[in-house]
Every structure is written in structure tokens, then in C-alpha cells.
Amino acid sequence: MHRRTALSVSAALLVAAPLLSACSSAEVRPGTAAVVGGERITTAALQAQVKDVRTAQSRADQPERLIAASAGLERVKLGKMIQLRVLEKAAEDAGVSVSTKDIEAARKAQTEQAKGAAQLETAALMDRVPLAPDQIDGEFRFRLLFGKLSDRYGEDKVLDALGKAAKELHIQVNPRYGAWDDKQIGLGNAETPWVNQRTRAEQAPAGA
């Protein structure tokens, strides 16, 4: 298996889907961005993630270009937050987990590949789904879980497991952010693609 830098966009397994009016149309209460498995993702939690990215972008070179390139960041981040919970559910069902040690090894390997921590953070901030520095380890965990699930089920079957988990979580989304699609495992009209490359710790992913 060839090493790939996960800070670049890999071939998408899940592409942005059109808004589907039939999916997740139930209303959610004010202050809620989504409900996943009966648990709320609050708008405050979502906005905190967006704020962290915008703050990091404002301190980077050419902040206007970075901000302009990441329009619709709230929806993109929410899609990723929901996908993470789907991934965690599927991993729990499969008896799959990622340890802190796994994440540390991933970060070390990617930092070496990027030629330093500062370069890693810069690349993550410029990614398709921008990551603030304190969000990078979470992305490592996301990709490593996906990689382990791919190992468990095979790349051709992993989406079936994720789709099953998504249905069991009964996902509802505040209409302002779009609609959830269990088949595509993503928010309609949002760019939070899964990658179809198996991801291991030595690849040290840090971008979606």
C-alpha cells in the first residue's frame, strides 16, 4: 500500500448530494443544529468549531482568500460532526476503536511528512474542510476509525455498515443547514466527502 498525504483531497467516495426534502424533515428545537441518536448537536457547539477556524484563518497569510474559499463553513462542519457520530456508532457495532496512542502516532508521522508542525497546521487550514489547529487530532481519529472499519468490512462494504448506523441513529437536521441523506451518509448540498482510500496511522490524516 502506498503512502498518501491525507492533507490533500483523496478520491471521494461520498459526493455532495442535492438537498433531499424527504430526509430528516422533522423539526428540531431552537438552539439545535441536529439530533443524532437522541443527542443534540447544539448550534453553539457548531459555531464554536467555525469560530476556531475563522480565528486561525484570520491569523494566516492571505486570510481573505482562505475565508472566501470556505464559504458555507457552518454546513460543512455540521456535516462532518454528524458523520463522526455515524462513524462512532458503526465502530462501536463492529468492536473497532482508535486509541490516543494511535492518534499520537498518526500526528507524529504526518508532522514529519509535512516537515514540521507549523506546516501541518497550515496545510490543514487550507484543506477542503478547513481545520483549526485544535481540530487536527479529531480529524486523525475520524480517518483512522474509517480506515479500521474499511479493514473490518472491506472497502466495498463499509458504506453499508455506515448506512445502517445512520438509520439507527434517526438523524434530524435543522432545515437551515439542509437535510440528512442516510443513503449518501451526508448532508445535502454540503462538501463533507468520505474518502475511498483505506487510512492507517502512518498516513496520519488531517483533512477531509
pLDDT of residue 16 exceeding 80, the answer is: no
**Nearest 10 degrees: Cα torsion 171, 174, 176, 177:** -30
Average pLDDT of the chain, as a whole number = 80
Q: What pLDDT, in 10s, does the model give residues 175-192?
A: 999 899 988 899 875 444
**Cα–Cα distance measured from residue 36 to residue 86, given in angstroms and rounded to the nearest whole number:** 8
pLDDT over 70, % of the chain: 77
SS (H, E, C) 133-192: HHHHHHHHHHHHHHHHHHHHHCCCCHHHHHHHHHHHHCCEECHHHCCEECCCCEEECCCC
Tell if the pTM clears 0.75, that is, is over it.
yes
pLDDT reading at 135 higher than 80:
yes
29 — pLDDT class (breaks 50, 70, 90): confident
Q: Which has the closest alpha carbon to 181: 39, 15, 30?
A: 15
**Mean pLDDT computed over 71-77:** 92
Residue 151, all three cell numbers: 479493514
pLDDT at 27: 54
Q: How confident is the model at residue 123 (pLDDT cuts 50, 70, 90)?
A: very high
Average pLDDT over residues 98-103: 96
Name the grid cell of 103. 492518534
Residue with cell 459555531: 47
DSSP 71-104: TTHHHHHHHHHHHHHHHHHHHHHHT----HHHHH
Cα–Cα distance for residue pair 173/130, rounded to 1 Å: 22
CB of 6 closer than 8 Å to CB of 110: yes
pLDDT, position 24 = 40
8 A C-beta contact, residue 114 and residue 204: no
What are the structural domain ranges in the chain?
A: 32-203
| Region 154-170 average pLDDT | 93
Sheet of 32-36: strand order equals 39-42, 32-36, 172-173
Average pLDDT over residues 102-112: 96
Asked if residues 79 and 176 have their Cβ atoms less than 8 Å apart, the reply is: no
Residue 106 pLDDT: 95
Query: Strand, helix or coil at 14?
Result: coil
Higher pLDDT residue, 22 or 185?
Answer: 185
Q: Is the pLDDT of residue 13 over 50?
A: no
Confidence bin at 44 (pLDDT 50/70/90): very high
pLDDT at residue 53 above 50? yes
Whether the per-residue pLDDT at 132 is higher than 70: the answer is: yes
| Sign of the CA dihedral running 90, 130, 76, 39 | positive
Mean local confidence (pLDDT), 163-179:
93
